[in-house]
Structure 1
Amino acid sequence: MRKKVNATMQARKVALLSSNSKMPKWFYSFIPFKVATGGSSQVIPLYALQLGAEAGEIGLLTSLSAFASTLGTVFWGKLSDKLLKRKLFILMGFFSVSVFLSALSLVSNFWELILVNALYSFFLASTVSIPIVLLFRNVRKTRWEEGVGKFNKIGGWSWVIGLLLGFILVRFLAFRELLLSFAFLNIPALIIAWKTIREAPVYLHRSNIKPLVNRVIQKGRYLPNFLIHLPARLKISPKFRGLYLSSFFFWISSGMYSTQLPVFLIKNGFTSQEVFGMALLNSSISALLYQRVGRKLGSRTPVLALMQGYFSRTIGISLLLLPLAIPNSLLFLSTASYALWGYSWSYISVSLISLLGRMSTPREQGNALATSNLVNSSGFILGSLIGGTVASKIGFDVNFASASVVSFLAIIPLLPLMGPLPSISTFKRPIPHIRRRD
């Protein structure tokens, strides 16, 4: 009898391991989705410029998009938790891409574009954190880091492919036609997701979601990416204040810089294809460095890596302030600025998540990451508005100079954190083993 029970337990264990030995097939539904959203991410601001928008309007466009995305992430996430449904909301997010990209191709003025784009961002937010929760249900806990790493790696390189397609097609198609093309390319995502996603009840508290060091963070539309929802109560522990203040400065600088750089280039005679090419370079560098940076963090403090990222971003912004006496110097400087943007983002994204994990206990990690997302989004929205106002009223030089100063200021609150931090392995729970009775 005892041997029969042992054999049954072993059979269940083997079945469980084999069912989770491969990553879920629905990961691949995000390939056409990320191709569509990645390619269209550059079309929308360029289309707004064609419709007569200036620097101030572009800042407003981006800040409203970020605000709508923040609200949507909270709304759809809480609703999916209440209904314990994930597939429905992922399909809705995929469907919204084709619908709203088609609607954006039909707008006739900037104010119609800004309204449709805000609605688009709100519905698109259902594809941000909900897939991560579904992943945690479909992948064994011992392989969460591997699963999230592969999932975001697929999305990251698909995003690069979308930018590459945009870089090629923008030479031959108008912006309206580009938006319709990406809306059409997104359709296979719906079909694959419908066939491969298997709904299952998820009894997972978001406070239990831990930061994953080797996670590839894709900066969809250059907004802070959400892993969990905003905290119900904003309680900032004193040990996190310096980190949050630093992050707030960085995202203000990022909003001032990233939203106005394409506008600056177009105003200085660059073509849409050249802007696409620089964005492609930026995202490719980030995608190449994510996992390498994650491996480096095993042997060095993430504070130094985060400071390195902030300092690299400061240099990248400052390059735009150099004199333009040499022919084609602006092309060289802006290309270098985009390259440092991608380089710095790989260090900032991974090291910030790692730093939050090392500074917090398991009970604090969920709230710490949620509060960080709230701080990041607030800084980006504020920076986008400030950048648009300064660039339109005073000039791009003042805007970029201010952004570089604020980016450098983000380093200062990190200096008190230079002491030794506990290893991430300190917070890992031991994996239970099945004991065999003889």
Structure 2
Amino acid sequence: MDREDRWLVAWGVGYAAVGGASVLVPLYAIALGATPAFVGLVAATAALVGVPGALLWGRLAARTKRRRPFVLVALAATAGTLALVPLTASPAVVLLLNALLWFAISAASPVLNLIVVEGAPVAEWDDRIARLNAWQGYGWLGGLVLGTVWTALAPRAGFGPLAGQRLLFGLLAVTAGAGLALARLWYPERPHTDPERFRRVFRRLEPRGWGAGRVLRASVYGPTRTYWSLVSLRAGNPFARLPSGLRRYLLAVGAFSVGFAVFWGPVPSLLRADLTEEAVFGVYVAGNLVSAVCYAPAGRLVRRVTPRRLQGVALAARGLLLPLVALAGSLAAAALLPAYAVAFGLIGATWAVIAVTTTGLVTRLADDATRGEAFGLQAAIGGLAGGVGNALGGAVADAAGYLAAFSLAAAFVFLGVGLVAASR
């Protein structure tokens, strides 16, 4: 790794705290008495606050022409927020602190993209942004592994459930603090890439190859794409300027994105009702690990199979899997963890295929004049769908049970399958 790229390690360390908190926060809210509906609301607010955070901080970074303060503040806010969460016994305060955490992390995304391309030729920007996403992915997975190990060891050390969770928050806060210290030490020299130039070039970047690195860069569901995609939208009605097939496809993206969120919103409550805390973390590790491993094979597969057909198969498989997760609770206790791990691993594999093919289809259905706006609308649709779907899934699970919620999720996914087929 080049000397000027060492800061990516620092950000990856800080992002490990975010990955661990992504599961720990809902588990802590559940331990404090939160219902599935409230847990879905926690996820919904986290999804919604990221977009205004990125837009606000992106504009401030462009005006001030500063980068360092925004990255350091994001890591400091992560450490401080995670240190504050265990001091409260109110689920409502946990929700607010989690929203603050995701506001800070998502707000840093446009600044991170600028930093990662500093001094690099335009031809290398694609791969350098992919490297940023890869380090974030490694950090996220590392945080989940840390949570799995800690929650398994804490009871043996004599800590009760709440005490163990609060200590883990402290450990994650220290991890974010370590990332902050490393970022201060390894941050690159004063930037010289103009935000407007980056925005213009970013609109022209296309996933020319389908290796795992490019897929990580291309996924518009991650916060690193949100800001630069949304600022590409022009005045008027950008949706009306898109080709008709692309408009139909973006409706499909909205439908299956809502379905995904309806599922993920109440999932922590379901898993915690059936599994120990360390097992819950382990299930998330299984899903994320399989997804990461499958990115490269999915990229190779899309060269041989029509992206629309491949995505339809992946969506249909995921649609069938979601209700089955709700039925796993009826299995014998010894079979619960393996069943959930296998199910979430398969769901993770379908996500790798969907992430690859979604970006590929938008790229192919758009023309040169509208491609940037298409990615912007896709980012906006994904963020809005995440907020609405998480809240809806939690509310339905609370009122009618997990099978009803996950069946509703599957219905949205299959609606997306039909709209994908209609987008020809």
Equivalent-residue separation in structure 2 for 1:22 and 1:139 (angstroms): 14
Comparing 315-324 with 56-65, which one deviates more in the overlay? 315-324
Question: Which residue pairs with 1:257 in the alignment?
Answer: 263
State the structure with more CA Rg. Answer: 1
Residues 259, 351 of structure 1: CA spacing in aligned structure 2 closer, same or farther, 3 A cutoff? same
Equivalent-residue separation in structure 1 for 2:145 and 2:2 (angstroms): 33
TM-score by length of 2: 0.86
Question: Which residue pairs with 1:199 in the alignment?
Answer: 190
Say if 2:57 is the partner of 1:85: no
Deviation (angstroms), 1:208 = 3.2
Q: CA RMSD in A?
A: 2.5
Spell out, residue by residue over 1:142-183, the C-alpha distance to the aligned partner (whole angstroms, 9 max, x if none).
222322232222221222121111101013161111011011
Say if 2:283 is the partner of 1:278: yes
Say if 2:413 is the partner of 1:407: yes
Deviation (angstroms), 1:344 = 1.3
Deviation (angstroms), 1:330 = 4.1
Partner of residue 34 from structure 1, selected from 5, 10, 15: 15
Equivalent-residue separation in structure 2 for 1:226 and 1:196 (angstroms): 19
Local SS of the residue matching 1:298? coil
Equivalent-residue separation in structure 2 for 1:232 and 1:74 (angstroms): 15
Deviation (angstroms), 1:321 = 4.8
Local SS of the residue matching 2:191? coil
For the Cα contact (< 8 Å) 2:48–2:386, is it kept in 1?
no
Equivalent-residue separation in structure 1 for 2:3 and 2:346 (angstroms): 36
Residues 299, 21 of structure 1: CA spacing in aligned structure 2 closer, same or farther, 3 A cutoff? farther
Equivalent-residue separation in structure 1 for 2:312 and 2:402 (angstroms): 26
Whichever residue aligns with residue 189 of structure 2, its letter is R
Residues 357, 44 of structure 1: CA spacing in aligned structure 2 closer, same or farther, 3 A cutoff? same
Partner of residue 368 from structure 1, selected from 353, 368, 374: 374
Partner of residue 303 from structure 1, selected from 304, 308, 319: 308
Whichever residue aligns with residue 296 of structure 2, its letter is Q
Equivalent-residue separation in structure 1 for 2:218 and 2:176 (angstroms): 19
Say if 2:138 is the partner of 1:157: yes
Question: Which residue pairs with 1:98 in the alignment?
Answer: 79
Say if 2:238 is the partner of 1:235: yes
Runs (4+) of structure 1 exceeding 4 A deviation are 20-23, 321-326
For the Cα contact (< 8 Å) 1:135–1:147, is it kept in 2?
yes
Equivalent-residue separation in structure 2 for 1:365 and 1:197 (angstroms): 32
Deviation (angstroms), 1:36 = 1.2
Say if 2:71 is the partner of 1:110: no
Residues 218, 359 of structure 1: CA spacing in aligned structure 2 closer, same or farther, 3 A cutoff? closer
Question: Which residue pairs with 2:214 in the alignment?
Answer: 215
For the Cα contact (< 8 Å) 2:24–2:165, is it kept in 1?
yes
Instruction: Return the structure number with greater helix share.
Output: 2
Equivalent-residue separation in structure 1 for 2:248 and 2:118 (angstroms): 34
For the Cα contact (< 8 Å) 1:84–1:202, is it kept in 2?
no
For the Cα contact (< 8 Å) 2:119–2:193, is it kept in 1?
no
For the Cα contact (< 8 Å) 2:252–2:416, is it kept in 1?
yes
Structure 2: runs of 5 or more not aligned: none
Comparing 42-51 with 381-390, which one deviates more in the overlay? 381-390
For the Cα contact (< 8 Å) 1:255–1:384, is it kept in 2?
yes
Spell out, residue by residue over 1:283-342, the C-alpha distance to the aligned partner (whole angstroms, 9 max, x if none).
111111223322333344322332233123212203225476652454444223211221
Equivalent residues in 2 for 1:114-193, closer than 5 Å: 114-171=95-152, 172=154, 174-193=164-183
Local SS of the residue matching 1:52? coil
Question: Which residue pairs with 2:298 in the alignment?
Answer: 293
Equivalent-residue separation in structure 2 for 1:170 and 1:67 (angstroms): 29
For the Cα contact (< 8 Å) 1:152–1:215, is it kept in 2?
no
Residues 192, 323 of structure 1: CA spacing in aligned structure 2 closer, same or farther, 3 A cutoff? closer
Comparing 205-214 with 320-329, which one deviates more in the overlay? 320-329
Equivalent residues in 2 for 1:367-406, closer than 5 Å: 367-406=373-412
Equivalent-residue separation in structure 1 for 2:224 and 2:48 (angstroms): 13
TM-score by length of 1: 0.84
Comparing 303-312 with 43-52, which one deviates more in the overlay? 303-312
Deviation (angstroms), 1:417 = 4.1
Residues 225, 345 of structure 1: CA spacing in aligned structure 2 closer, same or farther, 3 A cutoff? farther
Deviation (angstroms), 1:271 = 0.9
For the Cα contact (< 8 Å) 1:73–1:229, is it kept in 2?
no
Question: Which residue pairs with 1:225 in the alignment?
Answer: 223
Say if 2:48 is the partner of 1:72: no
Structure 1: runs of 5 or more not aligned: 1-19, 419-438
Local SS of the residue matching 1:186? helix
Deviation (angstroms), 1:219 = 12
Question: Which residue pairs with 2:37 in the alignment?
Answer: 56
Question: Which residue pairs with 2:348 in the alignment?
Answer: 342
Comparing 355-364 with 172-181, which one deviates more in the overlay? 355-364
| Paired-residue identity, % | 22
Spell out, residue by residue over 1:182-226, the C-alpha distance to the aligned partner (whole angstroms, 9 max, x if none).
110122322322233223132225243124454354999x96534
Equivalent-residue separation in structure 1 for 2:309 and 2:63 (angstroms): 40
Whichever residue aligns with residue 52 of structure 1, its letter is G
For the Cα contact (< 8 Å) 1:217–1:225, is it kept in 2?
no
Equivalent-residue separation in structure 1 for 2:353 and 2:131 (angstroms): 18
